[in-house]
Structure formats: structure tokens, C-alpha cells
Amino acid sequence: MTTDELHASELRDPSPPMPGARERALVASRAQQLGRRRRLVQGGSALAVVAALAVGVAALTAGGGSDTGSDNAGVEAAGGNAAPGTDRAAGADGLEGTVTGAPAGVIVRITLRPAAGGPDVVVRADRSGAFHVEDLAAGTYDPVVEWVDEATGTAVRAQHFPVIVAPSDTPLQFRFDP
């Protein structure tokens, strides 16, 4: 007999098997196993989210951060800039300037990342927002300015600013976007 010749009435079992206690116990056991797996996956997912958040906070605290401001947000200088990689005025050995727009009760930390690679230069602004970096190697730097909560020591906000050339005898002005 081929499958084309089969009819639904021929496929019906007049006395189908009835599940007993053994089959019900197997189904209940499988349901418990699936429930445990679901809870393990949910717990693992929650742990992964917490770990990702911890890594993000650690990165912000360590000076890395995402660009939360625009690329146009203000490094203002009173004079012109020298070409990248060239020295400024003779005797200039650092940078100085101010940071504005940070709320009260935060520490302002400026991280200068050398474009040519090498260790970051980190400086802290005083209460008025003024900062000064001495003995800064000549070169091009990518500045990141952060607000750090004074009570907890965690980064609240980080903002990238346009590239600067050091050393410079012109004071810089970093202004946080509102």
C-alpha cells in the first residue's frame, strides 16, 4: 500500500496507549530540567550584563571613555596653532589652561593621549578649573576631559576634544557641552 492510498480512518488507533505514572514522571522531570536551564541562562545573562557594566565603569575611571560630546566642542586658543609635530615658542615646555562647564562637587581630570603612541599624561584641574602640565614632550595629543564624582571616585562624564599640539605658550580652554 502506498501513501497515496492511505486515508485518515486507516491511521486511527482504536486503542491508543494511555500515559501512565512512569510517563507522567518523565514529563515532570523534563519540565524541571528545562526550568533549571532557563534559570541558569537568565542568571548567566544577568552576570554578563553586570560584568559589562563594571568593565565600562572601570574604563571610564581609568581614562578611557566614549565620546559623549560633539567633535566641535571647544578647544579654544587665543592664538593660532603650529603645524602638528613642530615646536612652539622656545622655552615652552608644557600646557596650561582652564576647564569650564563642570558642576560643583566633581573632580576634573584631563587625559592627554599621544597620537604617536606611548603613555597617557593625566593631570587634575584645581577647584577653579585651572590646570598646568610641565615637561610635556612635543607632539600631537588627543585630549579627553572627565568629570569624576568626588565622593565615589567614578567617572560621571567624559568628553573628547579636538587634537592639540604641545608644547604651547597659548592657554587652552576646554568647555563642556551642556
Residue type at 9? S
Kindly report which listed range (29-33, 59-63, 76-80) carries the lowest average pLDDT score. Answer: 76-80
CB 106 within 8 A of CB 147: yes
Q: What is the CATH number of the domain that holds 170?
A: 2.60.40
Examine the domain organization and report whether 81 and 169 are in the same domain: yes
Condensed to tens digits (0 to 9), the pLDDT of residues 75-126 reads 333 333 333 333 333 334 678 889 888 887 788 998 988 888 888 889 999 8
Examine the domain organization and report whether 80 and 107 are in the same domain: yes
Residue 68 domain-assigned (yes or no)? no
Q: For strands 121-124 and 75-77, give the pairing.
A: unpaired
Domains in the chain: how many in total? 2
Answering whether pTM is above 0.85, one says no
Examine the domain organization and report whether 31 and 113 are in the same domain: no
Mean pLDDT throughout 119-141?
87
CA distance 124 to 110: 6
Asked whether the bond before 143 is cis by omega within 30 degrees of 0, the reply is no
Cα four-point dihedral sign 64, 67, 68, 72: positive
From the list 169, 156, 177, the residue with the least C-alpha distance to 97 is: 169
Residue 109 domain-assigned (yes or no)? yes
